[in-house]
Amino acid sequence: MARRVKMTAVGVRPPSAESRILERGSMLDLVLHHIVRELEQAFAWRPDLVLLPESCDRPLDLPDSEAGRWDRENGPAVQDALARIARERGCVIAYGRGSASLIVIERDGTAAGRHDLLPGPPPPLVSCSLGKLACILSDEMQSERLRDLYRGLHPDIILLASRFPGGVLERSWAFDCRAHLASAVLFRSDLRLPCRIVSPVGAVVDTSTTSRTHARAVINLDSAVVHLDNHREKLLALQGADPDGIAVHDPGYLGGVLVSNEAAGGTIGDRLARAGIETIDQYFTRYLAERDRSLGRGAPEEGTA
Amino acid sequence: MARRVRVSAVSSDFIILDPAAGDERGVETVLASMRRLIAPVLPERPDLIVLPEVCDRPDNYEMPRRRAYYDCRAERVLDFFRQTARQNRCWVVYPTERLDEGGAWRNAAYLIDRAGHVRGVYDKMFVTISQMEEDGFPCAREPAFFETDFGTLGMAICFDLNFPALLEAYARMRPDLIVFPSHFHGAFLGEHWAWACQAFFLGAIARHECYLISPAGQAIARSSPGRRFLTAEINLDRCVVHCDWKDLPRLDALKAARGKDVEITDAGFGGNFVVSAGDTVRDAAGMAREAGLMPLDDYLLKGEGRTSAWPGA
């Protein structure tokens, strides 16, 4: 059954740490004002899930010596404000709390879970009403080990709350984990860095612009990545038999395509299995076993699966 | 010290031979096609030319027919590229189907040096199932790592790009340049490989665009529908650094101090920059460290240190 989620990644430019001498009101009010201003634009679309960047709850360029105190004194108030907004708007909100945590708030304003910057034990996925979320902060974006861990946990959505654009790493994370990805990036002054929605085949579905500070897309979580090798005819037949119930998105050049179950019933896994279509992981696993047999090996090589 | 190299990649079309014309005529047709492919890049005087996967394969012949044709071809196309390398004082990567010493046909790529000598062969490690079953091609076990007079080369062919084992091998070996002759374009995978190996990545793709990626994962040259080849100069003396926003003034200070003796490019993501040495600087990595910049390797090591207590780490 189609599991559609309206997902938005919102860029935020927090007030400068110097703003306290330029503007009226408390710094906390200013920080919240900057978040709410961007959220208002995004909420016109009534998203199910909103992602805000790392450190969106702090003044920009807060010295390290002041950051801890700021987080202790003001972090709970920002979380309370976002919980209230989540409840009022009926959406899940995820945001980077300082540079060390990613907080996920449920539609009813309760905390769904949090991800803390490594080190620590291997982080679990965060479960919420929309599905299983893999959370990443910008300093973790380049960790192959974290990516390997998350790949094995099969998240529905990857959330990257960052202070840098993720570039090709966003695309390779999404493709490696066969999951949709949202990246929200902290804006520096007036420099609007790209927030993006990336599909499980690494295709950039939407990006923020100079006039729109958020990226948005309706994604369908009942989907799977299939390799075109040996599957072209079967995919055509599957789609031909139910043109409105099966969507195939080919980003081109990759070999992998995203197949979604748009129907009101069944699951993409069942529908692919009935059509004799393997997922890309089933195909690569079968390929590696075949390759090992041809090389006279019993078990797959380390790192090849 | 700057190590500047000019690299070229060319694309190709289907090769359709007329079986009735005979194999001798077929070989002449293929040789003419190979001449046409490389002619546009030779005036650029490249140090290296890379051709696409199995660039001289007759695409309308099934394997049994191809074997008969290859009997006639023998090493004439290889000899053509050896002569091309010698006459133009350049290295050539010539991907083809070859008969190995054990009598097996392989999807492979020859590396030919400036004197026209074959300096190595890479046999494709991840041959597709259809190539195994229908063409009888075995998979090779070893990646390629070749020394040249301008730097070190790794190779991947087509389907290879899907498999982490080969990527991880090259990430450990750290070649200066990975060449990718292919029929499969690879989308963004080449950018990921380049970043993961901190190597230049040069794709020569049959019937698609060719592309060159920087060691930080940024596309720096592409062919076009009208010009289906590319030539670009790259500087192999490079160091990929990670720079947080607060460290950016260090890059500015380095540029101010070194002027033209340092080249700095921004990959545009992840805080990754490439610092390259100019003509009078000893080496890029040393220069970056002296400037207080953190090499990406150190940054990654620090990051992986955060997971050192994980089971199996």
- CB contact residues (below 8 A), chain B span 244-263, against chain A: 244-246
Give dist(CA B131, CA B311) in Å, integer.
Answer: 39
The pLDDT value given to residue A300: 46
The pLDDT value given to residue A23: 53
> Among partner residues A163, A166, A304, which is closest to B165 by beta-carbon distance?
A304
- For B90-113, write each residue's pLDDT tens digit: 999 999 999 999 999 999 999 999
The pLDDT value given to residue A119: 86
Q: Which residues of chain A form CATH 3.60.110.10?
A: 4-220
Q: How many other C-beta atoms can be found within 10 angstroms of the C-beta atom of residue B48?
A: 25
Q: How many other C-beta atoms can be found within 10 angstroms of the C-beta atom of residue A236?
A: 11
Nearest residue to B213 (alpha-carbon basis) of B200, B227, B198: B200
- Contacts for A22 with CB less than 8 Å, ≥ 6 apart: none
- Contacts for A5 with CB less than 8 Å, ≥ 6 apart: A48, A49, A130, A131, A157, A218, A219, A220, A221
**H, E, C per residue of A248-299:** EECCCCCCEEEEEECCCCCCHHHHHHHCCCCCHHHHHHHHHHHHHHHCCCCC
Give dist(CA A272, CA A283) in Å, integer.
Answer: 13
Nearest residue to B6 (alpha-carbon basis) of B130, B90, B75: B90
Strand A92-97 to strand A49-51: parallel, antiparallel, or no bridges (unpaired)? parallel
The pLDDT value given to residue A120: 86
Question: What tokens were used for B87?
Answer: 């006459």
User: Are the C-beta atoms of B204 and B182 separated by less than 8 Å?
Assistant: yes
The pLDDT value given to residue A210: 85
Give dist(CA B186, CA B154) in Å, integer.
Answer: 17
Buried b or exposed e, range A281-305, using 16+ CB within 10 angstroms: bebbeebbebbbeeeeeeeeeeebe
Q: Which residues of A touch B245 (CB under 8 A)?
A: 163, 188
User: Are the C-beta atoms of A175 and A201 separated by less than 8 Å?
Assistant: yes
Conformational region of residue A167, where left means phi above 0, alpha means psi within -120 to 50, and beta covers everything else: left
Nearest residue to A157 (alpha-carbon basis) of A123, A125, A194, A121: A125
By C-alpha distance, the chain B residue nearest A295 is B139
B294 exposure class (CB count in 10 Å sphere: 0-12, 13-18, 19+): middle
Give dist(CA A253, CA B281) in Å, integer.
Answer: 40
* Preceding amide of A121 cis, omega within 30: no
Closest-CA distance of chain B to residue A164, Å = 5
Residue B28, pLDDT > 50, answer yes
Mutation for A interface: B189, B307, B308, B310, most A CBs within 10 A: B307
Residue A173 DSSP label: H
Question: What tokens were used for B72?
Answer: 């006639």
Interface touch B138/A202, C-beta < 8 Å: no
The pLDDT value given to residue A22: 54
Asked if CATH classification 3.30.70.330 holds for the domain at A4-220, the reply, yes or no, is no
Interface touch A168/B269, C-beta < 8 Å: yes
Give dist(CA B305, CA A143) in Å, integer.
Answer: 10
Closest-CA distance of chain A to residue B250, Å = 17
Q: Which residues of B touch A54 (CB under 8 A)?
A: none
- For B148-168, write each residue's pLDDT tens digit: 999 999 999 999 999 999 999
- Amino acid in position A222: D
Give dist(CA B244, CA B261) in Å, integer.
Answer: 23
Question: How sure is the predictor about A297, in pLDDT bands with cuts at 50, 70 and 90?
Answer: low
Interface touch A202/B309, C-beta < 8 Å: no
- CB contact residues (below 8 A), chain B span 172-211, against chain A: 184-189, 191-192, 195-196, 208
Q: Which residues of B touch A120 (CB under 8 A)?
A: 306
Give dist(CA A147, CA B110) in Å, integer.
Answer: 35
Residue B128, pLDDT > 70, answer yes
Q: Mean of the pLDDT values across residues B173-185?
A: 97
* Percentage, residues of chain B above pLDDT 70: 100
Nearest residue to B158 (alpha-carbon basis) of B195, B176, B131, B134: B131
Q: Measured between CB atoms, does A119 come within 8 Å of chain B? A: yes
Buried b or exposed e, range A42-73, using 16+ CB within 10 angstroms: bbeeebbbbbbbbbbbbbbebeeeebeebbee
Element (H, E) at A149: helix A144-153
Summary mean pLDDT of chain A? 93
- Strands (E) located in B114-271: 118-123, 146-147, 152-155, 177-182, 200-205, 211-213, 219-222, 229-235, 238-242, 262-266
Tell me the CATH number of domain B4-235, given options 3.20.80.10, 3.40.50.10310, 3.40.50.300, 3.60.110.10.
3.60.110.10
The pLDDT value given to residue A277: 98
